[in-house]
A and B are shown apart, each in its own frame.
Chain A
Amino acid sequence: QQQVKQSPQSLIVQKGGIPIINCAYENTAFDYFPWYQQFPGKGPALLIAIRPDVSEKKEGRFTISFNKSAKQFSLHIMDSQPGDSATYFCAAWRGSARQLTFGSGTQLTVLP
């Protein structure tokens, strides 16, 4: 049962472009929504996160947009760089169960 659906599976953009990764969830018990970045051979690293009572959060070049009524959230990467090439995972945290549920990932390639 996939509780967090992520799209697209892969994404290729030119340097300076703005890749957008989308996620949707069903379980309203989720109460925090982090995004992770993973490079090959490495573990996921927390990038940015948002609470469901906030519609947008920016940290540097990364922005999360959150639509609580639609149960959707997305990651935008401004002025993308080749070094941003990685796999990105959205996730949802259910505090009552101390569980993090991940999406299936988006492999981003930023061309120089």
Chain B
Amino acid sequence: DTGVSQDPRHKITKRGQNVTFRCDPISEHNRLYWYRQTLGQGPEFLTYFQNEAQLEKSRLLSDRFSAERPKGSFSTLEIQRTEQGDSAMYLCASSLSTGHFSNQPQHFGDGTRLSIL
């Protein structure tokens, strides 16, 4: 079990630049989730995929954000024209989709910390 892997771990960029993060879920997990976590707060749901289909998007996911999971394996989250308020930890989680949550807990990666200068 290699766990959920996220890359890069840290990203520093200037305001207005585009950034892309990658998430590799646990191999047999068909659900993949993105969350955003700001300092001193709990993670906030952004979006989730079942296989390659994006099934739910939060109102937090503005038009500048786009997520893809082209082959139902890894996923990317892109932020265009970054703003100061985008500074946060972006977390990815994956799970199975069989049965209740108790049988399909979400396993989190260690996140990508984004800092906007």
Residues of A that sit less than 8 Å from B by CB: 4, 6, 31-32, 34, 36, 41-46, 49, 51, 89, 91, 93, 95, 97-105
Contact B110 A41 (CB under 8 A): yes
Q: Does B48 contact A (CB under 8 A)?
A: yes
Main secondary structure of the interface of A (DSSP, over half): strand
- Nearest opposing residue in chain B for A90, CB measure: B42
Contact assessment for B40 and A105 in the assembled complex, using a CB-CB cutoff below 8 Å: yes
**Shortest Cβ distance from residue B48 to the other chain A in the assembled complex, whole angstroms:** 6
- B: number of interface residues (CB 8 Å): 24
Residues of A within 8 A of B102 (CB): 32, 49, 51
Q: Is the CB of A43 within 8 A of B110?
A: yes
User: In the complex, which residues 3-26 of chain B have their Cβ closer than 8 Å to any Cβ of chain A?
Assistant: 4
